[in-house]
Amino acid sequence: MFIGVTIFNSFVLLPQSIVELLITLDNFLLMMSMAALGLTTQVNTIKQAGIKPLILG
């Protein structure tokens, strides 16, 4: 799918306004998924993992 969308976008078939809307939607959905991931993380789990994963991140 990713390669197909990349090829489709290379042909510049969509107007720039729609592309900008899709990028904004993409950023919003990414923000929502990262927030959901963060909200399900428990402090005890982070403490058990230690400092090394946080430094790596």
DSSP string computed for 1-57:
-HHHHHHHHHTT-S-HHHHHHHHHHHHHHHHHHHHHHHHH--HHHHHHH-SHHHHH-
Please write the tens of the pLDDT for every residue from 1-48: 889 888 888 888 889 899 899 999 999 999 999 999 888 888 888 888
Whole-model pTM: value is 0.61
Q: Cα separation of 18 and 49, whole Å? A: 43
Single-letter amino acid code for the residue at 9: N
